[in-house]
Amino acid sequence: MTYQSSVNPAQLTAPGALNGAIADTSERRALYLKLFSGEMFKGFQNNTIARDLVMKRTLTGGKSMQFIYTGRTKSEYHTPGNSILGDSNNAPPVAEKTITVDDLLISSAFVYNLDETLAQYDMRSEISRKIGYALAEKYDRLIFRQIAKGARLASPVSKTGYAEPGGTQIQVGTGAGSESDAYDQAKLVNAFFDAAAALDEKGVSQDGRVGVLNPRQYNVLIQATGDSGLINRDVQGDSLQSGKGVVEIAGIKIYKSMNIPFFGRYGVNYGGAITSPGNVGDFISEDIEAGTVSSAAGPRNNYGAANAFETSCGLIFQREAAGCVEAIAPQVQVTSGDVSVIYQGDVILGRLAMGADFLNPAAAVELYATNSAPAAFGTSYPSNVA
């Protein structure tokens, strides 16, 4: 039963209608104010973590920084009456590694004063954040690529009889393998224990060991906590809900990042073993850009070509695995004065001058799926000094 009558409807006055148009609800509300909620939907943002997980040095008054490798020496028993004049093989052997600062990395935007006046939200702070995120994302990606490079190389110290251990590559799964192995909880755990053993055997310190996986791999480990014991049972409920429950495996603290090389993309590759959730945007499953040294503006360290990471699916390392040198730390600058008057607006500029490369290959482990281990790149070293 209805108590509404359409026979003699009231003549509606709609103060929100434009030019009296009231055919539907949207027309009747056309002039009502749109209130700003105070919330802004951020673009693709991701926590950047690599800067604090490797060796970082500040560079001033130069274009590159030298790192020295010192190999091991041997001990021997003294024969009474013999003079002690040092090791006959001139041990310990020494080598060097130089990390060069890449060209200036920038991200910028121009903000027109009138647009800023008319907007009901703070444009500058939001744009500044996005610029900072862009620089930080690049920072992580470059460091992770160099860790992968180090995992594929022998040590720069290669004197006969005194060669130091190099990097480690571990297949997730066995045999022919497939990309789906990268998401298998049991196979991932086994790979972490294999990596821990390899690092122990190569004399790498247990302090500062970490692993970085993509978010889906990380959450695979979270889901399987009941039997694996990856989370203390006393805190299992909270850990599952927070998504931060995998504390460590074999003494290796685990992080998740969308900036690791993963099957030729950054973070995730929906063309591989998993199905895309749909509507992922342009900045998820992003292609790896070229990262080799050229005469044009760009990197001055070899970060590898895009196809160098087609089977890579995770990193495990200790902080000595890679180093970064900073000439200009990530910062945001804004124009002012005459420039602002001439253009009636300001340029917001983010800039960064840094370079990254591997340091101790023995401290780097690369995980890969399928039976094809990623090939080495950037293998040249300065000559060893005996």
DSSP string, 203-267: T--STTEEEEE-HHHHHHHHHTHHHH--S-GGGHHHHHHHT----EETTEEEEE-S-SEETTEES
The two structure tokens encoding residue 341: 């008057």
Predicted pLDDT at 88: 75
Predicted pLDDT at 123: 82
Residue 375 within any structural domain of the chain:
no
Residue 200 within any structural domain of the chain:
yes
- Which residues are registered as beta bridge partners of 252? 249
Predicted pLDDT at 364: 97
Residue 292 within any structural domain of the chain:
yes
- Looking up residue 139, the CATH number of its domain turns out to be 3.30.2400.10
Residue 105 within any structural domain of the chain:
yes
Residue 18 within any structural domain of the chain:
no
Low-confidence residues in the chain, pLDDT < 50: 235-236, 239-243, 382-386
Residue 298 within any structural domain of the chain:
yes
Residue 349 within any structural domain of the chain:
yes
Predicted pLDDT at 176: 85
Predicted pLDDT at 129: 86
Angstrom distances, CA of residue 154 to CA of 151, 196, 358: 8, 18, 11
Predicted pLDDT at 319: 94
Domain interval for residue 223: 50-74+91-276+283-368
193, burial (CB in 10 Å: exposed 0-12, middle 13-18, buried 19+): middle
Predicted pLDDT at 142: 95
Q: How many folded domains does the chain comprise?
A: 1
Q: How far is CA 132 from the centre of its chain?
A: 14
Round to whole Å and give the CA distance between 300 and 296. 10
Residue 266 within any structural domain of the chain:
yes
Predicted pLDDT at 359: 93
Round to whole Å and give the CA distance between 48 and 256. 10
Cis before 92 (ω within 30): yes
Predicted pLDDT at 12: 63
Predicted pLDDT at 368: 96
DSSP string, 289-311: PPB---SSSS-SS--B-GGGGSS
